[in-house]
Amino acid sequence: MHRVRFAPSPTGFLHIGSARTYIFNWLFARHSGGTMILRIDDTDVGRNSDASETSIFDGLKWLGLDWDEQYRQSERLALHRAMADAIFEKGMAYRDFTPAQSGDSEKSGAQGTWLFNAGMRELSREQSDRRAAAGEPFALRFRVPHDRIGHVKFADAVYGEQAKAYADIEDFALLRSDGMPTYHLANCADDADLRITHIIRGQEHLSNAFKHQLIFDAAGATAPTFAHLPLLMAPDGMKLSKRVHGPVVSVTTYRDAGFLPQAFINFLCLLGWSPKNDREKLSREETVELFTLEGINRANAVVNFTEEEPFDPKALWLNAEHIRAMSPQDLARELVPFVPAGTDPEKLGKITPLIQERMKLLRDVQTVADFFFVDELPPYDPAELIPKKGDAAMAKNVLIKAREVLATAEFTHDALEAALRAASVELGIKAGQMFEPVRVAVCGRKTAPPLFGTLEALGREACLSRIAKAIEKL
RNA sequence: GGCGCUAUCGUCUAACGGUUAGGACAGAGCCCUCUCAAGGCUUAAAUACGGGUUCGAUUCCCGUUAGCGCUACCA
């Protein structure tokens, strides 16, 4: 039985990279009939925030991907310390009384890898105990066997066999001087305790996995299978970050713009994973069915966005595909939050099929169908009313004729079309020349949904009054 | 700097060591058409570079270059 976990730290908004990690974990669990675990990794007390946690839950709720068990890392500190103690008692960790390094002073120093703080590794147990008993603060560090020849090894389900020489791994911290576990320790202790079978997470942890392997080994636990995921990059080649790339990296931005959850999931899982059958648009069920770790590739993927167009064109296209695939009834329901409050559901039901294949985002209803929701059309240039190869006089004739015809015609798509086409014949003009002024009069612009359905949805009264107003303009 | 990872059209990707290197998005053009879409057709566009191994490398190996990640008492 596979057990996987998503373990976000509540220190920022739910990022699309994190969402993708969640999605892959979820797909793996559901595909294999396993267990999905949500674990809030909140050991960094200073940086945790409630807003961040809310954002994570909101985001996951919107995605609609459930989980089976939930934990909070901060409630499991005893477990973490027990593991640290066990490792310490085995002599595989030691106390480091060196005061915490102030910031990134020599972070990118050119003098090779830092391995440990001089003098601390060799402290005798007596000395160490005495200083600790005296209340001197210390961090607990893993005693990496630097002298040992050979490598720490593990098989990554995505990246294959991994090996790193003991001599290249620094004595990382297990416990901070305030007694709180570090990420490495807490992670491994929890993963072991929760009997996690597969750790599916971002590639930024690939190098950390050697340390984690060391911890699992030291604690006498079998390490889960690691499966690292290629990272999401910005178009400028940088790692996506809220700070430099803004709201495009936040899941709620996609939700608020009117992405369908499944379209968003579809887009994200195609970034770094392929069903290998040229399928692009996938339903949730199909994705679960097709998902395997073998389909994950190794190169980072870039999410395209610009100042003008904040969403990846492929994400937009997929969203449009999913929108078109919905029943108009379902779509109308999704549209409700994007439409003026109090919009008549019946009217929305009439409008929806007219705009369904003209939308990329749900919020597009506001620009594509705006004229349905106002009593009075915003001002437009009367010149717009003049049809191709025509003049103001023709426009006026058309509108007067249209007003006459529409006053009596049955207000259904087919009847309307027949009536207006007949009218154009009567006037001796092309059908297009007939439709264009009517469209502008009724919609306030030249590009709009199909005319007859629009007239029908708008209703006789509104059409007639808008045409009358247009005639006045000429 | 050290260590790790990666490299196919602009982007996402496909290709038992043998294909005219395929698909999709975005672009261009045509068709359809009451405008706009949608749809159909067409088009342009890639194996980073250099060495091997092999009858034959996108595919395997080595090097170079480039990018990314880690190198914290953040995660």
Q: ipTM value of the model?
A: 0.95
Regarding the domain with residue range A78-100+116-175, which homologous superfamily does it belong to in the CATH classification?
Glutamyl-tRNA Synthetase; Domain 3 (3.90.800.10)
Fold of A3-73+185-233: Rossmann fold (3.40.50)
- A71-88 core/surface letters (b: 16 or more CB in 10 A; e: else): bebbebeebbbebbeebb
Annotation marks residue A242 as catalytic: yes
State yes or no: pLDDT of A108 exceeds 90: no
* Residues near A444 by beta carbon (within 8 Å), at least 6 away in sequence: A371, A377, A378, A380
CATH, range A242-325 = 1.10.1160.10
State yes or no: pLDDT of A109 exceeds 50: no
User: CA–CA distance from A133 to each of A127, A129, A136, A431 (Å)?
Assistant: 10, 6, 7, 95
Q: Residue A111: pLDDT band by 50, 70, 90 thresholds?
A: low
The distance (Å) linking the CA of A264 with the C1' of B30 is 33
pLDDT in tens, A205-241: 999 999 999 999 999 999 999 999 999 999 988 888 8
Which residue has the least CA–C1' distance to nucleotide B14? Answer: A276
* Residues near A45 by beta carbon (within 8 Å), at least 6 away in sequence: A74, A180
Token reading at A9: 């730290």
Query: A93-107, A164-178, A230-244: lowest mean pLDDT where?
Result: A93-107
The yes or no reply on domain A374-473 and CATH 1.10.10.350 is yes
Token reading at A103: 């910031």
Q: Residue A137: pLDDT band by 50, 70, 90 thresholds?
A: very high
Nearest partner of A301 among A240, A228, A226, A227, judged by Cα: A240
- Which one-letter amino acid corresponds to residue A389? K
**Average pLDDT along chain A:** 94
Tally of CA atoms within 13 A in the half-sphere of A226 that contains its CB: 25
Asked whether the beta carbons of A225 and A155 are under 8 A apart, the reply is yes
Kindly report the bases of strand B lying within 7 A of a protein C-beta atom.
Answer: 1-8, 10-15, 22-26, 34-39, 67-75
Degrees (nearest 5) of the Cα angle A15, A18, A23? 125
- Determine the straight-line distance between the first and last CA of chain A, rounded to whole angstroms: 75
State yes or no: pLDDT of A40 exceeds 90: yes
State yes or no: pLDDT of A104 exceeds 60: no
Catalytic entry in A242, A389, A446, A469: A242
Average pLDDT, integer, range A31-36: 97
The domain locations on chain A are 3-73+185-233, 78-100+116-175, 242-325, 326-370, 374-473
Which DSSP state fits A387?
A: P
